[in-house]
Structures are given as structure tokens and as C-alpha cells.
């Protein structure tokens, strides 16, 4: 059980010994493991038959978890423990911007802090600047333009220019 091979004829030789060849090979399980969760990947290499090389199952990019090993059974099916993969999360705050102004983002509040999710970073109130779009990477870091700066809003030096019938300067 667990091996495949043809039936072969053997002959009783004059010396009283059986002659002939019998070749048995382990039942093949193949390089794929059916039923794995979408966030897992099978790494089956070498001999994928009964009695052959175990198959390693790891979490896909963007997920983390402890790898598990599957072994090929006599019936040609892989068996092993269920792998648990959880999404990698990027931090709530996007760090590394040039300049001293801390930009704000709604990544965590919007539940957009997992692998390949997008997040927009904005300048805080009282500052102006363009939004920056970031993508959460498989390593748990945000990727995007960190050079987008923020500039303090400038109301000008003369209040009289912006308020009717006013007189004064700052």
C-alpha cells in the first residue's frame, strides 16, 4: 500500500532462484496541496511521492505565520496541520517625511493598514501641501513619496488688505 508498480512475471531458474524485475514507486501526491487557504503557499520540491520529501507550506507575501510541513500519504494525498496566516499590518503613522511637520493619515481608522492597501497622507490643519498616496508593503512598511512637504498657511502681513475698513499691520 502506498506504492505503484506493474505486475511482473518471475521465472524459476535452473539453479532454483527466481529471476525477474519488480519496480515499485511511491504513490504520487504532486506539487500542489488542495484546500490550502488563499493566504498560504505550498513549496513542494524533490520527490513528492509517498515516502518522499515533505512539502513546506508558508504564508503568502503580506501575511505572517509559522510554516508547517505536509507529508504524502499512501493514498496520494498530502496531510499536515492547518497553517494560520494573519495579515501584516503597516503602522498607523507614516514616518520618514522630509521637514519637521507631522502629516496626518487615516490609514488605521479606515482599516487600510494591511498588505497592498492604499492610504493618503495629508498636511495638518494650518498647513498646505499636496496629498501623498502610500501602499502597505509585504514587509509592514509604507511605500510612497515622502518628499511631499507641508507649508504653514501664510495670511500675509497686513490685516487691512483682507478686512474691509480695517487699519493695522502685524
pLDDT, tens digit, 9 for 90 and up, residues 5-62: 555 666 777 787 877 776 666 788 999 999 999 999 999 999 998 889 999 999 999 9
> CA-to-CA distance for 134 and 65, rounded, in angstroms?
25
CA separation, residue 130 to residues 8, 120, 133 (Å): 78, 10, 10
What's the mean pLDDT when you consider all of the chain?
A: 80
Better-scored residue on pLDDT, 166 or 132: 132
- Give Rg (Cα) of the chain: 33
Q: Please give the model's pTM, rounded to 2 decimal places.
A: 0.63
> CA-to-CA distance for 35 and 155, rounded, in angstroms?
62
Contact predicate 159/166, CB 8 Å: yes
Amino acid at each position: 500500500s502506498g506504492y505503484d508498480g506493474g505486475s511482473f512475471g518471475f521465472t524459476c531458474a535452473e539453479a532454483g532462484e527466481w529471476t525477474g524485475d519488480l519496480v515499485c514507486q511511491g504513490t504520487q501526491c504532486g506539487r500542489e496541496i488542495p484546500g490550502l487557504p488563499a493566504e498560504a503557499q505550498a513549496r513542494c520540491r524533490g520527490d513528492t511521492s509517498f515516502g518522499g520529501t515533505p512539502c513546506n507550506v508558508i504564508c503568502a507575501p503580506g501575511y505572517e505565520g509559522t510554516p508547517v510541513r505536509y507529508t504524502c500519504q499512501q493514498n496520494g494525498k498530502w496531510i499536515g496541520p492547518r497553517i494560520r496566516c494573519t495579515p501584516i499590518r503597516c503602522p498607523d503613522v507614516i514616518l520618514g517625511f522630509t521637514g519637521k511637520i507631522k502629516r496626518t493619515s487615516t490609514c488605521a481608522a479606515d482599516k487600510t493598514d494591511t498588505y497592498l492597501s492604499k492610504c493618503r497622507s495629508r498636511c495638518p490643519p494650518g498647513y498646505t501641501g499636496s496629498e501623498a498616496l502610500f501602499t502597505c508593503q509585504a514587509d509592514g512598511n509604507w511605500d510612497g513619496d515622502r518628499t511631499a512637504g507641508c507649508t504653514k498657511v501664510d495670511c500675509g502681513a497686513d490685516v487691512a488688505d483682507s478686512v474691509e475698513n480695517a487699519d493695522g499691520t502685524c
